[in-house]
Amino acid sequence: MKEAKLHLLLPPLGILLLGTGVLLLAHRLTADLLLLPWLAAVIVGAFFTQFILGRRDGTDLTLFPAAMLLASLGLIMIGRLKPALFLTQMRWLLLGLIVYLVLVFLGERFLRLLSYPYLLGVFCLLLLCSALFFGTEIGGSRNWIVFGPFAVQPSEFGKIVIIMFLAAYLTEHREVLTLPRHRLLWLKLPVLRFIAPLLLIWGIAILMFVVQRDLGSALLFFGIAVSMTYMATGRKSYVALAFTFFLGAAALSYSFFSHVRVRFNIWLDPWSDPSGSAYQVVQSLFALGSGGVWGAGFAHGHPNLIPEVHTDFIFAAIAEELGLLGSLGVMLVFALFFYRAIRIALACREETRILLAAGIAVVFLLQAFIIIAGVTKFLPLTGITLPFVSYGGSSMIASFMLLGILTVLSKKENRHG
């Protein structure tokens, strides 16, 4: 057992307490009798979690405090932007902590699922297709399934399953995938049945874009599949095939579907309709510009002019009120996630676990990149969440599940030496 490094939680929990205090003094939050018990539960839960991690030999002790830093910042921004949702998001955060601890305790028993790649593949298909057939349109995307007062986003949990499936499948068939037998133009490819699962994933990504109007999830799933395939095989042919497939599908989608054309036209020229379909993007750009280097100051900006600012555009709110420095701080935390996850991957003994940790590293960095690029107009607006920061129970729980798997992989028993 080593030191739990509880002091690493002081900055994130300090931000949470200080931000909550400012919101209470500014009367943006009401001193509800339920607020303080839930806040105390989150603080106690965070320290307890870090203490438990310290008792596990070799477990990474920096990832959880980094996640709490992002979650605390997101929580106070939600309290500032949508006070009515502050307590709800705090409950989701506490539930995320519980799910994280359960995964850490399950450990190897959970990782046994890697022995059943085809079962994981079928489960992933069921998750993603559930939104295609039973989804409800919320915020312009049909990627939610509504159960009474609750709405679940299957794609958030689908990305966990797809990473596990690809890690197991690519490891099992790595030799076949790296020794192609057929030539298609300039590409060298293996037997079709071995790349069929990859083609299926790419096809589902395109369907998510066209049918569900969910560009963010489509890019995310596509990026996960391409990057993990390349990491497993080292062959550029798969990357070239994937991008040819994606560009062809994107061109056909642009030609045949009007909502796809609208999305791309907004990206190319948002100023052609600044008060209509491009309103969110234009207001986001104004927020980024007015923030400057130092920002307008917490609770002193006007990010509420952006619709759905607490979900898709929370990074724009951070940039306006905390400035360039705050924005860079958020991006550096995601870079830290990627760095630590890659180190965990390189230290793992089994190839399946190497790919699993590397896939989680990619998903955190890629998801952050996609949403930040959409907010800054580097890419078309995507509509996915910023992990740990944006409002949403599905996103919060899925992010802590990925973090839990990464924590299990960081244990000494899984590493060389």
For residue 308, give the amino acid letter: E
pLDDT in tens, 190-200: 666 677 787 78
DSSP 209-266: HHTS--HHHHHHHHHHHHHHHHHHH--HHHHHHHHHHHHHHHHHHHHH-HHHHHHHHH
Q: Residue 337 in 3-state DSSP?
A: helix
User: Over 141-187, what HEC string results?
Assistant: EEEEEEECCEEECHHHHHHHHHHHHHHHHHHHCHHHHHCCCEEECCE
Query: What pLDDT was estimated at residue 32?
Result: 72
Across the beta sheet with 136-138, what order do the strands follow?
136-138, 141-147, 150-152
For residue 289, give the amino acid letter: G
First to last CA, the chain: 17
Work out the average pLDDT over 36-55. 93
Higher-confidence position of 102 and 374: 102
Which of 14-28, 62-76, 250-264, 340-354 is predicted with the least confidence, judged by mean pLDDT? Answer: 250-264
Q: Residue 134 in 3-state DSSP?
A: helix
Q: Is 95 exposed, middle or buried (0-12, 13-18, 19+ CB in 10 A)?
A: middle
Higher-confidence position of 223 and 67: 67
Q: What are phi and psi of 136, to 5 degrees?
A: -115, 135
- Calculate what percentage of the chain has a pLDDT beyond 70: 91
Sorted by sequence, the CB contacts under 8 Å of residue 192 that are 6+ apart come out as none
Higher-confidence position of 290 and 210: 290
Which of 3-7, 182-186, 299-303 is predicted with the least confidence, judged by mean pLDDT? Answer: 182-186
**Beta-carbon-side half-sphere exposure of residue 348 (alpha carbons within 13 Å):** 21
Greatest CA separation for the chain: 69
Six-digit token pair at 49? 């979690």
Q: In terms of Cα–Cα distance, which of 3, 6, 99, 114 is closest to 56?
A: 3
For residue 288, give the amino acid letter: L
Six-digit token pair at 167? 């890690």
Put residue 30 in one of left, alpha, beta given phi > 0 → left and psi -120 to 50 → alpha. Answer: beta
Query: What pLDDT was estimated at residue 362?
Result: 95
Sorted by sequence, the CB contacts under 8 Å of residue 377 that are 6+ apart come out as 267, 270, 281, 284, 285
Domain ranges across the chain: 6-410
Does the pLDDT at position 182 exceed 70? no
- Calculate what percentage of the chain has a pLDDT beyond 90: 44
- CB distance 394 to 152 below 8 Å: yes
Question: Distance (Å, rounded) from C-alpha 249 to C-alpha 207?
Answer: 10
Tokens 């992933």 belong to 124
pLDDT in tens, 117-164: 989 988 988 888 887 777 777 666 667 787 767 778 888 998 999 999
CA dihedral sign of residues 272, 278, 281, 282: positive
Work out the pLDDT band at 183, boundaries 50, 70, 90.
low
Length of the chain: 417
Residues forming a β-bridge with 183: 188
Does the pLDDT at position 95 exceed 70? yes
Q: Please state, as a whole number, how many other Cβ atoms lie within 10 Å of the Cβ of residue 351.
A: 14
Query: What pLDDT was estimated at residue 336?
Result: 95
Which of 86-95, 112-121, 177-186 is predicted with the least confidence, judged by mean pLDDT? Answer: 177-186
Question: Distance (Å, rounded) from C-alpha 192 to C-alpha 226?
Answer: 17
Strand 150-152 relative to strand 136-138, pairing: unpaired
pLDDT in tens, 15-29: 999 999 999 888 788
Does the pLDDT at position 334 exceed 80? yes
Query: What pLDDT was estimated at residue 187?
Result: 60
* Average pLDDT over the chain, rounded to an integer: 86
Q: In terms of Cα–Cα distance, which of 226, 198, 163, 222 is closest to 358?
A: 163
Query: What pLDDT was estimated at residue 1?
Result: 45
Does the pLDDT at position 416 exceed 70? no
- pTM of the entire predicted model: 0.93
Q: What are phi and psi of 145, to 5 degrees?
A: -115, 125
